[in-house]
Amino acid sequence: MIDFNADISSLMLPNGRSVVGSLDSEDEVKRVLDLISDAYGFRGFTLLGIPERGCRSLAAQAQLTTWPSEFFRRYDDARLMDGSPVVQKLRRSTIPFTYDAHELARRRLDGKGDAAVSVFEEANIPRGVYLPVHDAAGNRGAIAFGGDRPVVSNDELQALNLWAGFLYCRWTEVRSRDRRGSGSLSRREIECLRWAAAGKTTVEMARIMALSEYTVNHYLNRATRKLDSVNRVQTVAKAMRAGLIN
């Protein structure tokens, strides 16, 4: 059982590894999610916003993720959001659940079952869990872990659900704090702007920084909001004038 009032350094993963750190940044939250994913035998995780009705892009909902960028591109290109049993369940339920791409394909009513299986299989995440989460302010989201390991046990599901709730609350706290201190850029935001100023594309930055394209875009978009800019070019220019990057 996770003590939500405990210092993060006292928490342990099932492989006996301790979680060390203050969890005072999005990078720290991502690091711990990576550790959990590895400890439970998954290939990666994604932290999602709950898509509103009419939303067509899963990629746009990915706030933090280590799932392959190609997965999101193919998912959106195939327009799999509308008929997704997972998305429908996340909209109406707060109960954690496991998923299997083959089983979910049989429940689709739009004839895109085979396409959905192919997208998940190609990304090596055909099975996993979705964990609906919320914070004290009522913000809702979901953390998913995917891979090709066997179906998780009930004990594992409950433990993952506790981790997910704990980390989502920390993540929203960090985001809220960053918005209040919008005049300051984080280390990752400055790093992304430096590479952008050097002419690197999002794909190149993701490769250099060992992040997903969506995480890079998240940092750049956040820097754009903080500097009250309208696009990436203006953000880089403002950061240079302010002496934040060379």
pLDDT tens-place string over residues 22-43: 677 888 888 899 999 999 999 9
Better-predicted residue by pLDDT, 99 or 24: 99
Asked whether the beta carbons of 223 and 185 are under 8 A apart, the reply is yes
Q: How many Cβ atoms sit within 10 Å of the Cβ of residue 201?
A: 12
**pLDDT over 70 at 185, yes or no:** yes
pLDDT of res. 210: 85
For residue range 116-143, list pLDDT tens digits in order: 999 999 999 999 999 999 988 888 999 9
- Residue given tokens 């998305």 in the structure block: 87
* pLDDT band at residue 232 under the 50/70/90 scheme: confident
pLDDT of res. 230: 78
pLDDT of res. 36: 94
Share of residues in the chain with pLDDT > 70 (%): 89
Residue type, 68: P
pLDDT of res. 21: 63
Partnered with residue 75 across adjacent β-strands are: none
* pLDDT band at residue 179 under the 50/70/90 scheme: low
Q: What is the mean pLDDT of the chain?
A: 87
Dist CA 36 CA 128 (whole Å): 13
For residue range 35-77, list pLDDT tens digits in order: 999 999 999 999 999 988 888 889 888 888 999 989 999 999 9
For residue range 70-96, list pLDDT tens digits in order: 999 999 999 999 999 999 999 999 999
Partnered with residue 49 across adjacent β-strands are: 141
Dist CA 217 CA 225 (whole Å): 12
**Spatial CA neighbour of 122 closest among 62, 65, 78, 56:** 78
Q: Give the dihedral sign, CA 55/60/64/69.
A: positive
Average pLDDT estimate for 98-117 = 96
Backbone angles phi, psi at 126, to 5 degrees: -75, -15
pLDDT of res. 199: 92
Dist CA 108 CA 78 (whole Å): 14
Q: How many Cβ atoms sit within 10 Å of the Cβ of residue 166?
A: 20
What is the residue-wise DSSP string for 120-135?
Answer: HHHTT-SEEEEEEEE-
pTM: 0.75
Backbone angles phi, psi at 60, to 5 degrees: -70, -20
Asked whether the beta carbons of 30 and 64 are under 8 A apart, the reply is yes
Residue 237 CB partners (closer than 8 Å, separation 6+): none
pLDDT of res. 6: 45
